[in-house]
């Protein structure tokens, strides 16, 4: 695999010099468990949709940051843009390091947080179009990948979240987006949706020769205990073992 760009203060150590994983965590203890199971190649996350009280969300982030270099604040609700403002409010109080936003709100969020002295790595959520070479915005507007990436770069966006991947259904679209993003200097690509131990190796192998700083699968449903809401460390280990081609 190609040697990636030098790490910056915004991104922690990476598997194969470019792979990170995002897993949701319930609390500080769960974060410790998941980070250990993921051998440190993990950015633990929370979702804003679970916090009607933004102060409670900020407290959770600060608690998790006692054991994690970065915390990611997601939207929740399948990437519901209604929670974009809540993400920013929690981030303003807690300095997580990484936040998720719909593309249409990403530049504002980045500028606002920088303006209050709390800069974050902000991703921009887009949706598969079903056609290689095109993406859709959450609003439904379809764009050529090249036009989208050029616009994102001009707006200062550093990373693109691609969701829902639906396992490997939209893998060819993801690969094309990753190539164009890397070519134009975007730092990261973050796929989400249906990624698990049965397909993680295929997903990573599809982009392993693309020289991008970080590639961060968001892996949720397959690793979370439905009753407790906690991410299961054994399921996290299974992801890494499958990626290495070892028995799970």
pTM for the structure as a whole? 0.93
Statement: residue 189 has pLDDT above 80: yes
Statement: residue 3 has pLDDT above 70: no
Q: What angle do CA 245, 173, 125 make, to 5 degrees?
A: 100
Q: Which of 44, 13, 22, 17 has the alpha carbon at shortest distance from 212?
A: 17
Q: Cα 17 from chain centroid?
A: 16
| Tens-digit pLDDT profile for residues 39-73 | 999 999 999 999 999 999 999 999 999 999 999 99
Q: Which of 69, 111, 113 has the alpha carbon at shortest distance from 91?
A: 113
Q: What is residue 246's predicted lDDT score, i.e. its pLDDT?
A: 82
Average of per-residue pLDDT values in the chain:
94
Statement: residue 74 has pLDDT above 80: yes
Q: What is residue 12's predicted lDDT score, i.e. its pLDDT?
A: 59
Find out whether 34 and 46 touch, Cβ atoms under 8 Å.
Answer: no
| Tens-digit pLDDT profile for residues 111-165 | 999 999 999 999 999 999 999 999 999 889 999 999 999 999 999 999 999 999 9
Element (H, E) at 121: strand 121-128
Percent of the chain with pLDDT over 70: 95
């Amino acid at each position: 695999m190609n040697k990636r760009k030098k790490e910056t203060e915004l991104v922690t150590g990476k598997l194969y010099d470019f792979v990170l994983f995002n897993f949701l965590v319930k609390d500080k203890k769960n974060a410790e468990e998941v980070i250990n199971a993921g051998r440190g190649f993990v950015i633990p996350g929370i979702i804003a949709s679970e916090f009607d009280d933004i102060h409670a969300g900020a407290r959770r982030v600060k608690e998790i940051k006692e054991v994690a270099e970065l915390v990611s604040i997601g939207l929740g609700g399948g990437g519901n843009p209604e929670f974009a403002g809540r993400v920013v409010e929690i981030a303003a109080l807690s300095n997580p390091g990484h936040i998720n936003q719909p593309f249409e709100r990403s530049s504002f969020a980045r500028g606002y947080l920088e303006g209050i002295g709390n800069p974050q790595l902000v991703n921009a959520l887009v949706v598969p179009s079903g056609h290689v070479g095109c993406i859709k915005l959450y609003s439904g507007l379809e764009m050529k990948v090249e036009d989208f990436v050029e616009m994102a770069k001009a707006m200062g966006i550093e990373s693109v979240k691609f969701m829902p991947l639906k396992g490997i259904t939209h893998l060819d679209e993801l690969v094309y987006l990753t190539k164009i993003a890397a070519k134009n200097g975007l730092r990261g690509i973050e796929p989400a949706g249906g990624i698990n131990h049965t397909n993680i190796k295929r997903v990573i192998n599809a982009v392993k020769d693309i020289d991008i700083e970080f590639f961060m699968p968001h892996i949720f449903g397959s690793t979370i205990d439905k009753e407790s809401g906690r991410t299961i460390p054994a399921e996290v280990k299974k992801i890494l073992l499958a990626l290495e081609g070892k028995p799970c």
